[in-house]
Every structure is written in C-alpha cells, then in structure tokens.
Amino acid sequence: MTLFLRRTLAGGAVPPTLRDPSQWPEPMRREWSDDQGTRAAAEHRRRSIAALRKLRTALDDFKPDAIVIFGDDQYENFIEDVVPPFCLYITDRMESRPFATESQSFLRENIWGEPEDAMFVHTGHPGIGRFLANRLSELGVDLPYAYRLRYRYGLAHAFINTLLYLDYDRRGFPFPVVPFHVNCYGGELVRRRGGELGPGEAAGESDPPAPGARTCFAVGQAIARAFRTSAYRVALVASSSWSHAFLTPKNHWLYPDHDSDRARLAELAGNRFSCWRDLRGDEIESAGQHEFRNWIVLAGAMTEIGAKASIVEYLESYVLNSNKCFAVFSTAGESS
C-alpha cells in the first residue's frame, strides 16, 4: 500500500518537479510502474509474511516464559503531560482495538478482514515486569514504569502490530508480553502529534531529544545482565521498520535512506552491531531511522550475551515508506 507516498505527494512539502514520477530515481519508477506500486506491494507483503512465519517458528521453538518487546509510542500513551525516555509496562492483561483508531496514519481495513471493533487480548507478566524493574534499579538503571495503558485503543501500534503479525496465521499467541517503551521520536513526537501532521507541516522548535544511542545500548546491556541471573526464559523482540520515507527530508520525504539502512544491514550481518552505540542522534534522524533506537536497545542486550545475528529477510522499497529487516539472534546454538 502506497498510502504514505500518496499522502506526501498530496501535501505541500514536495518540490513541484518531484511530483512527476518521471523525475524519480529509476528503481522508484520501476516499483511505481504502471499500477502505482500495486504489484510491488503484493511482493513486499509475500516476502514479509514468509519472514514473519520464520520468526514465529523460532519463537515457538524457544518457548519463552515471556517476550519483552521494545517499541515506540507515537502520541498514544505519552503526550504533552509526560514523555519518558523509557517505560516498562507491568500489567497482567492488555485489551487492544487496533482497527478502531481514528488516526489518519493507519488503515482500518486490514489483510485479515477483521472488523473495526475487533478486540485482541494479550496476557502480561507482572512478575517478570517487577523483577526487571527491581533488578535494573540494582544495576543503576532507574526505570519509569506503568501499571496501565492510557491509550484508548490499548497497546500502542508498535506493540500491537508486532503481536498481530507474529500471529499472522491467527493460531493464537500463547506467550505473556512485557511491553518496553522506547521514546524513539523525541524532537518530532509532540509537535507532529505522532505523525498526524505530514512532512513539512509541523511548526516551531523541536521537542527535547530522544535518548541517545549510548543510553539505548546501555539499557539493553543492563536488561541482558538482569535476565542472565534470573530463572526466567525471556525472548527480546525489537519492533519497527528501519528508515521511513516520511521522516527523511533529504529525500524530500519520498523514499527511505537506503544507503544508511544498507550500512546498518552490513553491520548486522557482520555481527558488528555493537558499533550502533556510537550512532549520533542527528545521524539517526537525518536518515529517518528514528525507530531504529528499538534495535539499538536489542543490540546492547545481544552484545552483552555474545549473540550472533542471522538475517532472515531484508526488504528495500522506494514507494512503500520503509525498509524492513527480519533477523534472529542466537547464542550457543539457541535462538534468543
């Protein structure tokens, strides 16, 4: 679906010459083709689903006591009154209605044909949540936490989408979930109202920044140290696509930063992801890689335990808003 590209073209931020597809980069014109990206979207979806099924198999084989999902909040739970750098959710039940949102950034129609009022219930694990908060404090990381979701539709979309797609075939999701919020959007969060304002529409100064890469990486390391000494078997999952077109002004918000994403992919494939701790905030955000901070937290944890990455799939697109990477990490022959 080329929803975001169409929205960008309909706005006023794109130079007039670039509204003409004939002026786009050749790979982008090829994807757009004569059907405005329909065939490209179908192939993108096919490969995404195949990769997701492999990830679900790895998760089923691992049999965790719970999964901790690193995800961002886009003006859902955290708005003007408080925007923490991180937040751990300690709750035993989460009810979500992801297709009922009024947000213009998300589609109500969905590939499963679920009704608008469909409710999804996921079990939490308060015991693991409290353990993690307490152990992190002992390790010098004093973490904000919450006992309830404030968003009227339940889990923020970074979390609920991860769960919906990990259960793409609707077999059920038996694992308790511990959501771990990372403030990925920082300076863009409030003034763009979580993406409700399109490219170039937000006015005024940027909000305070998101946590830096070193902080994200260090938090991930601490999480790994906390669980290594516990009796819990926990899977860590980083949600989110990589660079996003609508966050990349140097490409006039038309397509993602492929060069930066390819650099991150090479680092991941070469098990050099520890270098992500050195990424600068302006470097991350100029590439539209805001949500990549979720992966940096994961990289800190995987570095701490000496895990290696295996790339399941990498999807690059000019017209479908974002590039996507699917990977599994393992140590001593076991997925993590």
Continuous H helices in 72-212: 126-138, 157-166
How many angstroms separate the CA atoms of 189 and 212, rounded? 15
Q: Would you list the DSSP string of 257-298?
A: -HHHHHHHHHHHHTT-GGGGGG--HHHHHHTT-GGGHHHHHH
How many angstroms separate the CA atoms of 240 and 261, rounded? 13
- Using CB atoms within 10 Å of the CB of residue 228, give its burial: 0 to 12 exposed, 13 to 18 middle, 19+ buried: exposed
Give the CATH number for residue 282.
3.40.830.10
Q: Would you list the DSSP string of 187-221?
A: GGTTTTGGGTS-TT---SPPPSPPPPHHHHHHHHH
Domain residues for the domain of 145 are 3-335
Q: How many domains does the chain have?
A: 1
Identity of the residue numbered 64? P
Q: What is the pLDDT of residue 109?
A: 76
**Whether the Cβ atoms of residue 139 and residue 226 lie closer than 8 Å to each other:** yes
Identity of the residue numbered 74? Q
Q: What is the pLDDT of residue 106?
A: 56
Q: Which of 244, 270, 259 is nearest to 323 (CA)?
A: 244
How many angstroms separate the CA atoms of 265 and 167, rounded? 25
pTM for the predicted model, two decimal places: 0.94
Query: With the C-alpha atoms ordered 299, 170, 178, 105, is the resulting torsion angle positive or negative?
Result: positive
Contacting residues for 184 by C-beta, under 8 A, at least 6 apart: 72, 210, 240, 290, 291, 292, 293, 294
Report how far apart, in Å, the C-alpha atoms of 20 and of each of 25, 120, 122 are. 11, 42, 45
How many angstroms separate the CA atoms of 95 and 161, rounded? 13
Q: What is the pLDDT of residue 133?
A: 97
**324-331 vs 308-315, strand pairing mode:** antiparallel
How many angstroms separate the CA atoms of 68 and 127, rounded? 13
Phi and psi based region of residue 140 (left: phi greater than 0; alpha: psi -120 to 50; beta: remaining)? left
Contacting residues for 59 by C-beta, under 8 A, at least 6 apart: 67, 166, 175, 235, 335
Q: Which of 173, 73, 67 is nearest to 120 (CA)?
A: 173
Per-residue pLDDT of the chain (336 residues; tens, 9 = 90+): 588 898 899 888 899 999 999 999 999 999 999 999 999 999 999 999 999 999 999 999 999 999 999 999 998 999 888 999 999 999 999 999 999 987 655 556 789 999 999 999 999 999 999 999 999 999 999 999 999 999 999 999 999 999 999 999 999 999 999 999 999 998 777 777 666 666 767 677 778 899 999 999 999 999 999 999 899 999 999 998 999 999 999 999 999 999 999 999 999 999 999 999 999 999 999 999 999 999 999 999 999 999 999 999 999 999 999 999 999 999 875 645
